[in-house]
Each structure stands twice: as structure tokens, then as C-alpha cells.
């Protein structure tokens, strides 16, 4: 058996960022074979993390990949256990890699399918192997809670890691599309256009405005005209195209986009942990 030197242990520790005693034990078990020792550490780490899968993952970040010229985009929610880990550089890279691979790769219908694909930033490794290496060092559970790919030109923006937006666009450029995504993150519109609003909600609002006008003593023959004016305010509050642009309130988002030759389409807006909160709020026995 090869002699296990302090230099060998230090080299393995530097490459894996794992405790010295674990590295020494792995080298002893592998007879000094560095690659075999790394595999031993990976397997031990995976076994250890497998016992922790029931732990809560209430922190994390939204990962985004967007491209106007590339005609594709993706958004993922990668969860972890603590806020410091959510800001860890390697965790941030993993979230971004997941989004990039989902967008530019063959696609995936399940987290397991995506994890098995190549890591964009780690040559020769899968995303799962990349994840396992980080988990083995940090010893926290990572969970890919949701993911979505958009096969269209997109703009993206992430606010403080916790709010992520992906906006479909036609024309324009990445910077303009990012500005619109930033607006969606800040103002949280209900729909991109008036046509995409929940029409039942629109009719309910219209009836509320009619009753308000009647209570003000307005004659029926002018109520309809009044309602159209009041509904414009409703649209300006809830529709992306109609909202005052957050960076320049003298114009609307639709007009700002048009000035750059861009048309805004549907959008996805996620907040970290909102699916978990929805599941907690769902009554027992409710249909899934």
C-alpha cells in the first residue's frame, strides 16, 4: 500500500474542500489512489445527503436564462436550507447553470431529467455531479422546486434572488427586454394585455364602477361613457402594456417597448417559495 503523506491529504482537501480526516480516511481506503479517493468521498457524501432529504428548504434563489436573439429562455427555482448558502457563489452558479441548460439543451420534463444533463460551467460533469460536489462541501439539501422553458425571444430579470421574471418579446434587444422584466418584478401586473386579463374579474370591476356611479347619482345615459374612463384606470393598474413604466412614469411599458421596436408578450413571474406556501394553504383532502 502506498504511503499516505500529508501532502496527498492536503491536495485532496484542496480539491474537494472536505475535512482533512475524511480525506485521509478516503486515501487510506483507496490505497493512495487520488481519483478513487474522490469517488469514495462522493459516494459517502451522497449517502449522507440521502438521509437528510426530509429537511426543510425554505431559502434559495430564482435562476434565469434569457435571450432575444437566441429565441429561448428558462426559469428555475433552486431551494436550499439557509440564506447564507443561497448567496454562496457555487450555489448561484448552479442555479444559473440549471436555467442555461434547460434553455439551450434538449429540454427536460422533470428535475431528474435536467439533473442528468451536462453542466454548462463544469466540463465533463453532469448537473447532478456538480450539485453533489457542492452539497458534499456545504452539507445542505438542494431541491429543484420548479422549472419552465420558453421557446421564444425572452428578457429576464432577478430581484434579490427571490423574484424572477421571464418576458416573451418580439423585436428589441436584451437590454430593453430586461427593463420590461425589471418592471414586471417591481409592479406585478396581472396580465400582459387587456385581452389576457381574467374577463370575469374585468366584468366584476365594471359592475362595481356602475354601482358606484349610480350611488353618485349619475344618470344612466352617461354611466357607460364614465365607466370606460374608469376602466382605463383599472387597466393602467393591472395590465403590463398599460402600466406607467417604472423607470419613466411619463410613458407606458407598451410605448417604451414600441420605441425600441419591441412588442411585449406573456410573462412568468415567480417568487421564491410561493408554491410551498400554496401547498400549505391547500385544505386537507383537496384535489391535487
Q: Which residue ranges make up each domain of the chain?
A: 6-44, 56-151
pTM for the full model?
A: 0.79
> DSSP letter at 26?
H
Across the range 257-286, mean pLDDT stands at 79
How much is the pLDDT for 283?
Answer: 47
Across the range 235-258, mean pLDDT stands at 96
pLDDT at 199 over 50: yes
The residues near 265 (Cβ < 8 Å, ≥ 6 apart) are 152, 167, 168, 169, 170, 192
How much is the pLDDT for 284?
Answer: 43
**Cα separations in angstroms, 17 against 20, 35, 124, 147:** 9, 15, 19, 30
Q: By the 8 A CB rule, do 46 and 132 touch?
A: yes
Determine how many CB atoms are found less than 10 A away from the CB of residue 119: 22
pLDDT at 109 over 80: yes
How much is the pLDDT for 277?
Answer: 58
CATH architecture assigned to 6-44:
Orthogonal Bundle (1.10)
Which of the four pLDDT bands, split at 50, 70 and 90, describes residue 217? Answer: confident
* Burial annotation 150-186 (CB, 10 A radius, 16+ → b, else e): bebbbbbbbeebbbbbbbbbeebebebbbbbbbbbbe
The half-sphere exposure of 216 on its side-chain side, counting CA atoms within 13 A, is 12
The half-sphere exposure of 228 on its side-chain side, counting CA atoms within 13 A, is 3
CATH architecture assigned to 56-151:
2-Layer Sandwich (3.30)
Among the residue ranges 12-16, 69-73, 108-112, 159-163, the one predicted with the least confidence is: 12-16
Across the range 213-237, mean pLDDT stands at 85
Please state, in angstroms and rounded to a whole number, the distance separating the CA atoms of residues 100 and 115: 12
Domains 6-44 and 56-151 share a fold: no
Across the range 148-169, mean pLDDT stands at 97
Q: Model confidence over 10-25: pLDDT tens digits?
A: 777 787 777 777 778 8
The residues near 109 (Cβ < 8 Å, ≥ 6 apart) are none
SS3 77: strand
The residues near 25 (Cβ < 8 Å, ≥ 6 apart) are none
How much is the pLDDT for 212?
Answer: 85
Q: Model confidence over 110-119: pLDDT tens digits?
A: 999 999 999 9
Amino acid at each position: 500500500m502506498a504511503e499516505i503523506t500529508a501532502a496527498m491529504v492536503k491536495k485532496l482537501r484542496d480539491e474537494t474542500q472536505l475535512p482533512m480526516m475524511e480525506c485521509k480516511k478516503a486515501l487510506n481506503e483507496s490505497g493512495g489512489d487520488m481519483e478513487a479517493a474522490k469517488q469514495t468521498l462522493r459516494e459517502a457524501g451522497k449517502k449522507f445527503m440521502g438521509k437528510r432529504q426530509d429537511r426543510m428548504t425554505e431559502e434559495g434563489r430564482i435562476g434565469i436564462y434569457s435571450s432575444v436573439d437566441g429565441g429561448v429562455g428558462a426559469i428555475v427555482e433552486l431551494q436550499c436550507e439557509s440564506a447564507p448558502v443561497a448567496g454562496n457563489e457555487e450555489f448561484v452558479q448552479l442555479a444559473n447553470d440549471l436555467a442555461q441548460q434547460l434553455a439551450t439543451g434538449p429540454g427536460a420534463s422533470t428535475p431528474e431529467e435536467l439533473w442528468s444533463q451536462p453542466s454548462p460551467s463544469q466540463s465533463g460533469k453532469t448537473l447532478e455531479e456538480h450539485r453533489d460536489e457542492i452539497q458534499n462541501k456545504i452539507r445542505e439539501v438542494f431541491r429543484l422546486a420548479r422549472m419552465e422553458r420558453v421557446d421564444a425571444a425572452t428578457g429576464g430579470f432577478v430581484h434579490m434572488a427571490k423574484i424572477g421574471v421571464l418576458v416573451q418579446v418580439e423585436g428589441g434587444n436584451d437590454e430593453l427586454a430586461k427593463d420590461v422584466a425589471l418592471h414586471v418584478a417591481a409592479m406585478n401586473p396581472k396580465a400582459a394585455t387587456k385581452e389576457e386579463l381574467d374577463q370575469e374579474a374585468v366584468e366584476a370591476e365594471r359592475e362595481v364602477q356602475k354601482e358606484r356611479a349610480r350611488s353618485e347619482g349619475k344618470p344612466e345615459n352617461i354611466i357607460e361613457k364614465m365607466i370606460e374612463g374608469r376602466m382605463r384606470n383599472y387597466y393602467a393598474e393591472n395590465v403590463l402594456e398599460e402600466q406607467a413604466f417604472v423607470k419613466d412614469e411619463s410613458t407606458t411599458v407598451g410605448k417604451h417597448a414600441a420605441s425600441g421596436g419591441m412588442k411585449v408578450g406573456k410573462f412568468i413571474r415567480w417568487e421564491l417559495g410561493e408554491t410551498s406556501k400554496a401547498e400549505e394553504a391547500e385544505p386537507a383532502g383537496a384535489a391535487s
